[in-house]
Amino acid sequence: MLFASLQLSAQEDSLQTGLGWSFVPIPAYTPETSWMAALTAFVTYRDNVDPTMRTSSLAVALQGTLKNQFSLGLYPEIYLDSNRVRIEGGIEWYLYPYNFFGVGNNNPSSNAELYTPYGAKLEMRVLYALSGRRVQHGLSAGVHLDLRYDQIRSIEPREDGTIGPLGRGEIAGAQGGWFNGIGPQVSYDTRDNNFDARDGVFAETYTIFYNELLGSTFSSAITTVDARVYTSIASETSIAARVLLQSADGTPPFLQMPSIGGSNNMRGIIDAQQRDRMSLLAGVEMRFPILWRFRGAAYADVGQVASNISAVALNQLWVTYGAGIRFLLVPEERISLRLDVGVARGVPQFYLGFNEAF
């Protein structure tokens, strides 16, 4: 989901308590969607002028694209009990034709099978600060819930007229179904800001177990490890680094398989064109001021998907790099509109998004 918004309410360059909101229709573009129109309302709430206290937010986004992709979603990030509790996630309804390119690390675009899922999902994470202070002051733990239903309405032949493995029903999840799971999550967070961090550490891991007891059509376990470090090197200039590992055990449907690519994970690679039972990526990004509310970024990433950790090979790594411009919509909260270009194997891709990639 990509969405962007423009601040309409009057804001001063200092933190204020109470509600704030942004709302605007805006055209956008990604390689996976072509041109899109996104209508987004972004609501924030702050009950303390202390800048170390996190701001709660709720994005409501309605999206349509030239590829007949439609979605409606609510995306909350809520802080309660003086920031001791964090609730975040999303509720989505979608009719979203998309391409399946196969399983593996070098799937060409000619492999594409256009499938049309119609469904809804609820993903929610609830964390409580173990220190008894705030979730952004160290260690917290909680649960991660993922409920999803997909009806695969159609699967089209490839461009050359052949029927691919998805159309032949050889791929788990080709008929859709329920994907329901829950599991533990542990997080360590000392970031100075949750929209555009410039100092601190963020690390979390969780495993979601999907099984028939929860009504899931498939039984699998999906594990994610996400580690990020942010450090300031000059006035308003910072370095951000990230390592992301995902693995799938059991019988995961193709929709749950770890992948690389997209607007947040290795910009320049088509989202989920490369997917398998595990994915690994690492990236670094420099963020710096340009003029007035404009900021810039330059970044590079390496990554790969594989059937298991022993199959990861240095000569099979994908390398991406790029740069972008941000416009601060709400400077005191560091909420921004983001335009990026990412390059993989000499081919540039463009992205218009909201806030930093990580």
* 271-297 residue pLDDT tens: 999 999 999 999 999 999 999 999 999
Six token digits for residue 104:
């593996």
Residues 6+ positions from 262 with CB-CB distance below 8 Å: 32, 269, 270, 271, 272
Asked if residue 8 has pLDDT above 60, the reply is no
Look up the domain containing 231 and give its range: 18-354
Residue 2 lies in a domain: no
Which CATH number fits the domain that encloses residue 335? 2.40.160.50
Residue 279: closest CA among 251, 301, 300: 301
Q: Is the CB of residue 335 less than 8 Å from the CB of residue 326?
A: no
Could you read off the pLDDT of 135-174 as tens digits, one per residue? Answer: 878 899 999 999 999 999 999 999 999 999 999 999 999 9
Residue 137 lies in a domain: yes
Residue 5 lies in a domain: no
Q: β-strands 113-129, 85-95: how paired?
A: antiparallel
Distance CA 312, CA 285 (A): 24
Six token digits for residue 178:
């329920």
Which residue do the tokens 């601190």 mark? 200
Helix or strand holding residue 56 (H, E): strand 56-65
pLDDT confidence of residue 120:
97
The residue type found at 10 is: A
Distance CA 213, CA 308 (A): 27
Could you read off the pLDDT of 44-102 as tens digits, one per residue? Answer: 888 777 777 888 989 899 999 999 999 999 999 999 988 999 999 999 999 999 999 99
Residue 8 lies in a domain: no
Residue 85 lies in a domain: yes
Asked if residue 115 has pLDDT above 80, the reply is yes
pLDDT confidence of residue 133:
81
Distance CA 189, CA 191 (A): 6
Residue 133: closest CA among 87, 89, 77, 86: 86
Q: Is the CB of residue 243 less than 8 Å from the CB of residue 227?
A: yes
pLDDT confidence of residue 304:
98
Burial of 66 (0-12, 13-18, 19+ CB in 10 A): exposed
Q: Is the CB of residue 114 less than 8 Å from the CB of residue 131?
A: no
Residue 277: closest CA among 172, 180, 185, 150: 172
Could you read off the pLDDT of 25-43 as tens digits, one per residue? Answer: 777 788 998 888 888 888 8
Six token digits for residue 271:
């989202």
**Ramachandran category for residue 49: left, alpha or beta (phi over 0 → left; psi -120 to 50 → alpha):** alpha
Six token digits for residue 350:
């463009």
Residue 252 lies in a domain: yes
Q: SS3 for 255?
A: helix
Asked if residue 12 has pLDDT above 50, the reply is no
Average pLDDT, integer, range 200-211: 96
Distance CA 168, CA 117 (A): 16
In this prediction the pTM is: 0.86
Residue 324 CA, distance from chain mean position: 18
Residue 9 lies in a domain: no
Q: How many domains does the chain have?
A: 1
Question: What phi, psi does 110 have (nearest 5°)?
Answer: -70, -15
pLDDT confidence of residue 19:
82
Asked if residue 11 has pLDDT above 60, the reply is no
Residue 39 lies in a domain: yes
Which residue do the tokens 């970024």 mark? 297
Angle at 90 between CA 40 and CA 231, to 5 degrees: 85
